[in-house]
Structure 1
Amino acid sequence: MNKQQTEAIYADARSQSSITEEQARFFLDNGFLVIKGVLHGEELKIVQDEMEKQVAKGVAGVQDDPDYMYGKGGKSGRNILRRIEYIIDKSDPMKALLGHPFILRSVEKLQGRNFIPTWDSMVLKMPDEGIIVPWHRDAEVPDGCTDPRPIFNVDFYLDAADLATCLWVIPGSNKWSKEACKARIEKDGADRFSTEDAIPVPLEAGDAIFHDITVLHGSPAGDGNPLRRTVYYEFRPGEIEWNYGPHTREYLGLKQQMLLSCLDRRADASYAQGEEPFVYRPDGALVLGERKASNTFRYPHLSYWRD
């Protein structure tokens, strides 16, 4: 596939109810898919404002809270905020965002009706101090898994991302072997970011991108860059989690209930009135149990890790 073809395929949440078969195939072949206009108007403004509160808290410094993560600024050398974990638990609009019907219908098309949400985070490039994110895979498919369905992140962009801040991907690297990926990563190391075999993915505020956990991606260090906030929600087919982990089977039921609660939050949101809601309908071994109220939306991964 040439660069022009790779850049030409995207979905539009403003005119579609979910991704099409052609767009799904593009994603499966290339490891990423751009979605235009996922957030707009009132919802975009509310989500931006909510996450600005989290940025301000992190910039002020958070003692003894591992959810707020820092790295060494490329220009100043100071500790710079780079990531915040478990943002769904920290904000009601982020709960409603998990219930976005276009996103969930598209996830169901790619993963089947037994999907579950797993990780939720916000990653940042702070103004003029964007920290390099070297080429990497987010994770590997669990050992022994032969299920071909993709595990992927949905990345919601709260700020425009130009060439100074956007994600770069190597199309098709989701199909590479571990050895081939390791060789490409080691070619650059931790401090260099060559892009001769990659393409940039510039986006507007409110756009999103699906990216497979096994596609090679990253971003260069910023120099004069504006703020870029990106919210990451990962989804996994429930059957993969059930059979191979990495979480315990108890975790699946808890995250199913969490998703149902987030769908309720979206139904109550002013900006969601009039949209066709997503209906979550897992079946088989993962059929929904009795609804259970919970006072938390934060399920620490290591607390539910398989031995």
Structure 2
Amino acid sequence: MSKPQVEMFYADARTQSRITEEQARFFLDNGFLVVKGVLRGEELQTVQAEMEKQTAKGAAGVRDDPDYMYGTGGKTGRNVLRRIEYVIDKSDPMKALLGHPFILRSVERLQGRNFIPTWDSMVLKMPDEGIIVPWHRDAEVPSGCTDPRPIFNVDFYLDPADLATCLWVIPGSNKWSPEACKARIDRDGPDRFSTEDAIPVPMEAGDAIFHDITVLHGSPAGDGNPLRRTVYYEFRPGEIESNYGPHTREYLELKQQVLLECLDRRAAVSYSQGEEPFVYRPDGEFALGERMEPDTFRYPHQKYWRS
């Protein structure tokens, strides 16, 4: 199979206020878009330092908190940290990050003004213990949904990712059927990572990727890999969540209040001064009611699943 002929296309948060229509079309066609320079200067240093605390805590071993998840190290076979859930709840800088105006204006362009922040996690490749991430989709579009708007993650890179550790994507696989994706995944299996129909996406610290939940992606185990930390924020159109789930309507309203509080947190940090803040303006059935300060930033998904 020949290498896909996709000319890499970038957005740049240093010179743009949001993604352009052309960049949005690239994302919709290919299932991913790289954005350069989302985090920089003081914000990048603050977020890196803050999440280093979480990395150190998880690396030391957390036995009684299911938010810290582990896997088998690629070199030693030891139990190594691979994922931390609900990072917004664990860190004030991560609250401010949710209010990033370039990101939210771009999400609004792709999903409409009734978007909802749904997931927040950090995925790690620990040094010299890179774990292969086989080809996968993050999820399928909810059954019965005909809404064409994408559901996607924004992946913030806190460390560089070179060809040994970076994400690989199969462009356009966001348009494949579930059966076609399964056939591609099954061809390699969990222990092999062939890339003849894929392209690598090297990143610098502070860059971000928008990636559709249905695009096929993964990464090799790496050999002597450095630390790679990536923060994932997922967004979904409110109408898709309301009509098809997986969360209840109560969850959507709670996460709207979380977003409003995080926008206030963004406005208060030193590194946001001088930027044009995002204004969250959902309408119709999602119009904001009375403002209520959230009593937590961690609403467990399983508590709000539809039956």
Fold similarity call, TM over 0.5: yes
Per-residue deviation at 1:165?
A: 1.0
Q: 1:198 to 1:177 in 2, by over 3 A?
A: same
Report the alpha carbon displacement of residue 214 of structure 1 after superposing the two structures with TM.
0.1
DSSP-derived class of the 1:277 partner: coil
- Give the structure 1 partner of residue 179 of structure 2: 179
Q: Is the 8 A contact 1:125 1:222 kept in 2?
A: no
The reply on whether 1:159 has 2:169 as its aligned counterpart is no
Structure 2 SS opposite 1:250: helix
Q: Do the aligned residues in 2 keep the contact of 1:134 with 1:218 (CA within 8 Å)?
A: yes
- Count, aligned residues: 306
Superposed, 1:162-241 pairs within 5 Å as 162-241=162-241
Structure 2 distance, partners of 1:24, 1:106, is 8
The amino acid of 2:254's aligned partner reads: L
Question: What residue is the counterpart of 2:105 in the other structure?
Answer: 105
What SS is found at the alignment partner of 1:8?
coil
Shift of 1:8: 2.8
| Shift in Å, 1:112 | 0.2
> 2:96 corresponds to which residue?
96
Whether the 8 Å CA contact 1:67–1:84 is kept in 2: the answer is yes
* Cα distance in 2, alignment partners of residues 122 and 83 from structure 1: 6
In 1, are the aligned partners of 2:4 and 2:199 still within 8 Å (CA)?
Answer: no
Q: Secondary structure at the match of 1:222?
A: coil
Alignment-derived partner of residue 246 in structure 2: 246
Q: Which runs of 5+ in 1 are unaligned?
A: none
Secondary structure in structure 1 of the residue aligned to 2:144: coil
Aligned in 2, Cα 1:42/1:3: closer, same or farther, shift over 3 Å?
farther
Q: Is the 8 A contact 2:70 2:82 kept in 1?
A: yes
Secondary structure at 2:117 match in 1: strand
Per the alignment, residue 50 of structure 1 pairs with 50
Partner of 1:68: 68
Q: Which amino acid aligns with 1:131?
A: I
Q: Please name the residue that 1:17 is paired with.
A: 17
Q: CA deviation at 1:222?
A: 2.0
- For the residue of structure 1 that corresponds to 2:6, the secondary structure is helix
**Given that residues 170 and 197 in structure 1 are in contact (C-alpha distance below 8 angstroms), is that contact kept between their aligned partners in structure 2?**
yes
Gaps of 5+ in 2: none
What is the letter of the counterpart of residue 301 of structure 2? H
SS of the aligned residue for 1:215 comes to: coil
Give yes or no for the alignment of 1:301 onto 2:298.
Answer: no
Identity of aligned residues (%): 86
By how many angstroms is 1:5 displaced? 5.9
Which residue of structure 1 aligns with residue 265 of structure 2? 265
Structure 1 residue 293, shift from structure 2 partner:
1.2
CA contact (8 A) 1:14 1:36 kept: yes
1:23-48 residue CA offsets vs partner (Å, 9 max, x unmatched): 00000000000000000000000000
Question: Corresponding residue for 2:82?
Answer: 82
Q: Partner of 1:59 in structure 2? A: 59
**C-alpha displacement at 1:289, in angstroms?**
1.2
Please tell me the residue identity of whatever aligns with 2:269.
Answer: A
SS in 1 for 2:28: helix
Indicate the RMSD between aligned Cα atoms, in angstroms: 1.0
- The amino acid of 1:130's aligned partner reads G
Show CA shifts across 1:250-291 (max 9, x none): 011000000000000000010000000000000000111100
Whole-Å separation in 2 of the counterparts to 1:3 and 1:287: 46
Q: Aligned residue for 1:146?
A: 146
What do the CA deviations read for 1:134-157 (whole angstroms, capped 9, x no partner)?
000000000110000000000000
User: Match for 1:282: what amino acid?
Assistant: P
**3-state secondary structure, aligned to 1:69:** strand
CA contact (8 A) 1:48 1:158 kept: yes
For residue 4 of structure 1, report the CA deviation from its aligned partner: 8.4
Going from structure 1 to structure 2, the CA distance change for 1:227 and 1:99 (only over 3 Å counts) comes to: same
Q: C-alpha separation between the residues in 2 aligned to 1:50 and 1:7? A: 35
What amino acid is aligned across from residue 263 of structure 2 in structure 1? L
